[in-house]
Chains A and B, each alone.
Chain A
């Protein structure tokens, strides 16, 4: 009889992306640690206008002055001086696949980008060690006037529109990690969709941390002008390391009148990564903003996609899945601020904790006075798969208008023994049966994902369940 190995629970077995590319060269590697000089150097290397340099330095000042948050997960092991803040593998962004250096193409081959590019994608911004190294905008999007660039390039090419919106949704001093990002940001995507333009196929980008102690500080800015629509998909993988990695991204989204934006993230960082992200959108009159947020990896994720409903009849949705295995803590959720009448919101959170993992839902529904006719529903369901796992729910509500309907429901449960029995009596083993039940549990959110993510998600759940049982 095989002796159960508790280590199986710690890292998913057969982690298919757990490799490190030996040929990888990191050029322009700066020394570890953060200082004014590092911030200035980053700005200088990128050839940025003075206002951005000034903003970075101001943000660095705020970062130094602010204390770490005292709530959420355990961030005591993060040493900000033990991180590289800027590395680039190539010197410029490229337009066609053929221009991408070999070892990077190999990485993307293994991630399946070429297939995806052929079948589904309009363009890909690939982030490799903080730089956008591959970028392809299809001709028809260019004709429509859609801008889809790396954020660094957008700052240089479209300075007016950049300056108009950058830092208006998440200012430099919003919180400590946003201040850090504003000081050292590099890479990320910039998207502008002109009025009335509908981008049919999802725009995607991939990320990867590949240098030990490499921090990822991408900055994404999306502007959907009136009546337009776009779907942006972000998914990341990273090889396993033993020292801490820090991922502290900022995403700002502006959804103008009548426009619609969906931002999908599937995050599967290796289990040593700290994933501390600030994501916020503003939605104007009749606009729709949807966050689809899948948190599967990392050691600690703290992320609360937010929507500020600033115009009448704006609608916001957050669909969130969190999976925490042993030694993982997913502290996620969503925030919606109702700041106009007749606005609506929906937050659906499904979380699963297994082994010694911990999932926490943390959310806020705030309704300002005068926002009559507003409605919000929050639904949090948690599945705890093992005796030592843990699940928490912290739903905040600040309701200062009477003519509203605000509701929140949550449940915590385990896999029912009758359900398991039924499936196993149909010939499945316990792992297969559990995986099926768990996949059913998250199905309402998974069905909103682009197909290849849905497939990957189901496979990842399978992998996790195999680790859990036997």
Chain B
């Protein structure tokens, strides 16, 4: 299992209750920091229209796509609201010091 580091992004820069797009090992990943301090990461491609998810919002554990409101679970990638129907890949993520570590496998 390979690991990657969030390119140039510190954990302290990601406010609770938000998602951001980061490049990890050449791959676009949407990293989310929940209001209660947990970290999750999913592939940054909405399976409905192919656009970024990191531009969207985080509500509880749900990442909401900014273009049509589709929602994915931040931790499992499961679809929570249409119009997407295909889940996204989810990655384990944790924080080491101020570094966000996303495990791409």
Contact = CB atoms under 8 A, between A and B. Distances in A.
Is there a contact between chains A and B in the complex with CB atoms less than 8 Å apart?
yes
Interface of A: 62, 167-175, 280, 282, 308, 310, 337, 339, 368
A304 to B, nearest CB: 13
A310 B85 CA distance: 8
Bin chain B's interface residue count.
Answer: 10 to 19
Interface stretch (B8-16, B25-33, B65-73): B65-73
B86 A171 contact: no
B85 A174 contact: no
B47 to A, nearest CB: 9
Contacts of A280: 82
| A-B CB proximity, top 8 nearest | A171-B69, A173-B69, A339-B85, A168-B81, A171-B81, A174-B69, A174-B68, A169-B82
Contact of A168 (B67, B68, B80): B80
Contact of B68 (A171, A308, A337, A368): A171
Contacts of A175: 68
B64 interface: yes
B82 A173 contact: no
Contacts of A168: 71, 80-82
Nearest to A59: B69
B17 interface: no
Contacts of A310: 85
B70 A171 contact: yes
A170 B82 contact: yes
13 contacts: A167-B81, A168-B80, A168-B81, A169-B82, A171-B70, A171-B81, A173-B64, A173-B67, A280-B82, A308-B83, A339-B85, A339-B86, A368-B86
Contacts of B67: 173
A405 B85 CA distance: 21
A169 B81 contact: yes
B84 to A, nearest CB: 10
Contacts of B69: 62, 167, 171-174
Given A169-B82, A337-B85, 13 more contacts: A168-B71, A170-B82, A171-B64, A171-B68, A171-B70, A171-B81, A171-B82, A172-B69, A173-B67, A173-B69, A280-B82, A310-B85, A368-B85
Nearest to B68: A174
Nearest to A252: B82
B68 A173 contact: yes
A379 to B, nearest CB: 25
A70 to B, nearest CB: 16
Q: Which of B71, B80, B81 gathers most chain A CB within 10 Å? A: B81
Contacts of B80: 168
Contacts of B64: 171, 173
A282 B82 contact: yes
Nearest to A309: B85
Contact of B66 (A173, A282, A308, A339): A173
A282 B80 CA distance: 12
Contacts of B82: 168-171, 174, 280, 282, 308
Nearest to A338: B85
Contacts of A167: 69, 81
Interface in B55-105: 64, 66-71, 80-83, 85-86
B41 to A, nearest CB: 22
A161 to B, nearest CB: 16
Contacts of B68: 171, 173-175
A62 B81 CA distance: 16
A339 B85 CA distance: 7
A169 B85 CA distance: 11
Nearest to B83: A174
Q: Which of B68, B82, B83 gathers most chain A CB within 10 Å? A: B82
Nearest to A167: B81
A196 B64 CA distance: 34
Contacts of B66: 173
A308 B85 contact: yes
B58 to A, nearest CB: 13
A418 to B, nearest CB: 47
A308 B66 CA distance: 21
A166 to B, nearest CB: 10
A310 B67 CA distance: 22
A282 B70 CA distance: 14
Contacts of A337: 85
A168 B72 CA distance: 11
A174 B66 CA distance: 10
Q: Which of B71, B80, B85 gathers most chain A CB within 10 Å? A: B85
Contacts of B81: 167-169, 171
